[in-house]
Amino acid sequence: MKKINVGLIGFGNVGSGVVKILRDKKAYLRDKIGIEINLSKICDKDITAKRNVKVDRALLTRNAEEIINDPKIDIIAELIGGIHPAKEYITAALKKGKSVVTANKALLAQEGRELFALAGDRNKNIYFEASVGAGIPIIKSLREGLVANKFYSIFGIVNGTSNFILSEMSENNRTFKDALGQAKLRGFAERDASLDIEGIDSAHKLALLTYLCFGRLVGLDEIFIEGISEISLADVNYAKELGFQIKLLAIAKKEGDELEVRVHPTLIPKNHLLSSVTGIFNAIYVSSDLAGNLLFYGPGAGQTCAASAVVADLVDLAKDIQSGLFRPTLNVVVDKSIRKLRKIDEIESRYYIRFMALDKPGMLAKISGVLAKFGISIASVTQKERHKAQVVPIVMIIHEAKEKNLRAALAEIDRLGAIGQKSIAIRMEEV
């Protein structure tokens, strides 16, 4: 029986989960795949901290070079996160003839083109299932299960922290601040949660999904990113009254010969499957030519589900090594019908808008007049209850409009003397 040796760099939460699976399920995996996956070495900056899994101290090292330079190690799992030194470790491992498993979406989104090219030149692979959706097998499904498909769109709830916050606001009537506090208290958010709530984490994951589906590895500077920190409890409740839920969506969709790639809060109909995705759960809704519309759903965070995806990649690589096969990680074909990325100003969408207007005669007429000036048509309007300061929320749903026209109209409306605060606009998708 073939034995494949694995070196682990990063013994944190996910790394500990991987060690636990490889230890507890070693015989199960051996019987299932006919290969023994042997954990040869574990590297971490801190090898003395207490963890939920016990290992032989002889396996531990603080020096990643011991693993990278060990000729007996076949696969390296990089689970430290961040750009540096993770990039240097992966680069060195590939040059030493080792394949790599990683969960590092930020690194692959930023440096993936270089790393994938190096892996291909060396006839080695980088597998990264755990980088999107934790244990949801979305990467393998796009690469293999849907290999014959062309894709039209991706709509993803891919950040568990943001989804938990929006769920708390919707289900438990919490303010954004209180919901964020709950996320931190329950371990669903870091002390600095900005990468999650400002949409950066979702954008990293969207970059990888876009590459797999459309063959274009977009940079973060090419993705429109807007987070959820400006979403108020009032907006969440008004959206519910209108039959919608607010979700932070990662969107990539083909429109004619252009590709839209964006992350932002979005109103989606309550009766859509994505509306029912709550808490830390993730879901990716994919539209394709052959398989149609597919929903991938599961926990978007957690030690065991992320570790499960890492182990799945280790198993795939172990089988390839045993068989003497090299299967390129990304059987990506560039969609040549896509000529350019569509800028956010050029997208067309329906919108939810909330104005905070002083309760004066003729205000609604003034607002409607400015919208009409920019060719924006109102689908529905609701004037909500008065506030003590005589400021009245006016909630509108507008028909499809171009983003740049809407933004110009709102800027003009906000300059009206009777608008109490900056107007809020949230895009809508029928999905």
Q: Do residues 16 and 5 touch, judged by C-beta distance below 8 A?
A: no
* Mean pLDDT computed over 180-195: 92
Q: What is the pLDDT of residues 102-126, one digit of tens each?
A: 999 999 999 998 999 999 899 999 9
Q: Which domain holds residue 7?
A: 2-134+303-323
Map residue 317 onto helix, strand or coil.
helix
Catalytic residue of the set 205, 247, 253, 254: 205
Shared domain for 363 and 309, answered yes or no, is: no
Q: Helix (H) and strand (E) counts for the chain?
A: 14, 17
Shared domain for 316 and 370, answered yes or no, is: no
Amino acid 301: pLDDT:
80
Overall domain count for the chain: 3
Q: What is the pLDDT of residues 224-281, one digit of tens each?
A: 999 999 999 999 999 999 999 999 999 999 999 999 999 999 999 999 999 999 999 9
Q: What is the pLDDT of residues 299-347, one digit of tens each?
A: 988 889 999 999 999 999 999 999 888 777 666 778 888 999 999 999 9
Interaxial angle between packed helices 200-214 and 105-121, expressed in degrees from 0 to 180 and rounded to the nearest 10 = 30
Non-local (6+) Cβ contacts of 91 within 8 A are: 115, 118
Amino acid 35: pLDDT:
95
Taking alpha carbons only, the member of 62, 91, 54, 56 closest to residue 76 is: 91
Q: What is the pLDDT of residues 128-179, one digit of tens each?
A: 999 999 999 999 999 999 999 999 999 999 999 999 999 999 999 999 999 9
Per-residue CA distances from 9 to 54, 64, 88, 103, 276 (Å): 16, 7, 12, 12, 37
Interaxial angle between packed helices 160-172 and 176-185, expressed in degrees from 0 to 180 and rounded to the nearest 10 = 120
Q: Which of 291, 323, 355 is at the close of a domain? A: 323
Average pLDDT, the chain: 93
Between CA 214 and CA 223 the distance in angstroms is 14
DSSP strand pairing (258-269 vs 224-225): parallel
Shared domain for 239 and 268, answered yes or no, is: yes
Tell me, what CATH number does 314's domain have? 3.40.50.720
Shared domain for 114 and 21, answered yes or no, is: yes
Shared domain for 295 and 307, answered yes or no, is: no
Q: Is 150 a catalytic residue?
A: no
